[in-house]
Structure formats: C-alpha cells, structure tokens
Amino acid sequence: MKNINDFFKAKKEKKKISMISTYEYWSAKICEEAGIDCILVGDSVGMVDAGYDSTLPVSLNEMIYHAKAVRKGAPNTFIVVDMPFLTYQVSKEEALKNAGKIMKETGANAVKVEGGREIALIIQKLVNAGIPVMGHLGLTPQSVHALGGYKLQGKTEKQRRKIIEDAQILQEAGVFSIVLEAVPSDLAKEITEILDIATIGIGAGKYTDGQVLVLHDMLGFFDKSPKFVKRYIESRNLFLNALKEFKEDIINGKFPSEEHIYK
C-alpha cells in the first residue's frame, strides 16, 4: 500500500489488509520483503523492546527514533506511527505540533491515536492539516489504568453501543481506518459492516477488513502469549539454542574456526 486511497480501495474490493507492529530497521526490511501491506511503529515498543509494563512511558522522540529506522528498512511500505500517551490529548495545538514533528522527521504516512468522541476535534485538527490519522478503539492500552487491565472490551450492551458510536464519530472526524483491539468478534463484525473505512483487528475476530499483530508476538519471542496471538515460529527457543551453542563453541574452541579467522 502506498497511500490512504489503497485503504479505501481495499475496503471497497473486500481485500484483506495485513499489518505488523514493529520497530527496527532489520525487521521492517523483512516485513517489506514479505509484502506486508502496512507497518505500525507501535508504542508497544515500550513493552516489547524496553520491558515496561505499559505503553505510557514511551516518548515522542523514542517513537521518532524507531519510525526513522523502520522507514529506512521499509522505504516502500505504508507506515503508521503511534502517537505516545499525552502527546495528543492535552490540546489540538499540541497534538498538531507533535503529529507534524513525526511526519516531518520520519517519513511516515500516518499517525495513530487512541480513543473516541473525546479526541474527535483533535483528529479533525490533524486531518485538516493534511495528516492521515488512524483511530484505535476497544482495548486502548494508553488507558490501561482506567480500564483496570488489558481486558476484553465491549462486553455489555451499553459498552457495545458506545464503541459503535465512537467508530462512527471517528469516521466522521476523518480517520482513514480504525484499529479494533480486544472486542467480541460479533461487535467487530457489526462495526466493520457499518463503516465505509477499513477496520483492522487485533483480538477482534475474523470479520474485520484487516489484521494486525506485534511481530515479536507472532514470531514467538515470549514465554506466553495472549489468546489472540498466533505463534508462527518459536523464535525464543531458536534464539536460546543458538546462544547456548555459541557459549559451548567458545568453551570448546569450536568458534572461531578457520573460516572466521583473518590471515
């Protein structure tokens, strides 16, 4: 995908969108080679790469550092950058300044912000300045303390109505696509059918217009994964075995061998 029109086209033609959240030059390069439609430079980087237990501590400059690396690795892929906690909620002016900094310094194609009606005017401000915005509803990790944990959202009829209304408000405000995280499959289906823009699900079932996973999750880097993660390989074991072998080789004098020694 090259621009937001490709998202509108995918929705219209019912072509499923693949998105991967990743943060590095090398991993972005592999995603592009694999033909992944869209890369998200997610603020999950704080949990995956830095070991924080939420996304809240991630800074604007840290996101910019990672987004630049991803753009280098994936020069021809549509890149979305998460705006970190408190870089867009305070005022629309500050939001525009910060989103503008991301667009100016990284070569990203869009930004993503979490929330519904409460940030509609902020989204309008960014969209009016020519910045494509992706929305994010359901489990919004920057609100983990208010939500009381990383839990399924939209369980009651009242919560369902609110999420559906928020999705419509975001579309009205001008987002080109919405991430739906950790909501029941039938709710994601209903929203996907109502909206004219593409929904991208994570833990939202199979009826969304696309799917997103964190690369490090689907590659099996962690001991444990949430239910919605499919582990395509067990990288943790592969890495562990390689490192153990490296250590053994050093002890046994098997590394370096002739082929790795300068003469």
Ligand X SMILES: Nc1nc(=O)c2c([nH]1)NC[C@@H]1CN(c3ccc(C(=O)N[C@@H](CCC(=O)O)C(=O)O)cc3)CN21
Ligand Y SMILES: CC(C)C(=O)C(=O)O
Strands 210-214 and 177-181: unpaired
Site for Mg ion in 54-113 (CB under 5 A): 82
Annotated active-site residue in 181, 190, 258, 259 = 181
Dist. CA 216–CA 82, nearest whole Å: 17
Dist. CA 124–CA 22, nearest whole Å: 27
61 or 241: CB nearest Mg ion: 61
Is-catalytic flag, 248? no
103 or 179: CB nearest ligand Y: 179
Q: Which listed residue (1, 19, 38, 44) binds ligand X by CB under 6 A? A: 44
Shortest CB 200 distance to ligand X, Å: 13
Q: Which stretch binds ligand X (CB under 6 A): 111-119, 120-128, 147-155, 160-168?
A: 147-155
10 Å Cβ neighbour count for 253? 8
Q: Which listed residue (217, 218, 219, 220) binds ligand X by CB under 6 A? A: 217
Q: What are phi and psi of 155, to 5 degrees?
A: -85, -40
Q: Which listed residue (10, 42, 80, 177) binds Mg ion by CB under 5 A? A: 42
29 is in an annotated binding site: no
Q: Which listed residue (47, 111, 133, 134) binds ligand X by CB under 6 A? A: 47
DSSP E strands in the chain: the ranges are 17-21, 38-41, 78-82, 110-112, 133-138, 177-181, 198-202, 210-214
Interacting residues toward ligand Y by CB under 6 A: 21, 40, 42-44, 82, 179, 181, 202, 212, 214
Which DSSP string corresponds to 117-153? GGGHHHHHHHHHTT--EEEEEES-GGGHHHHTSS---
The answer to the question of residue 114 lying near ligand X (CB under 6 A) is: no
10 Å Cβ neighbour count for 187? 22
Binding-site positions: 43-44, 82, 112, 114
The catalytic site residues sit at 181
Site residues for Mg ion per CB under 5 A: 42-43, 82
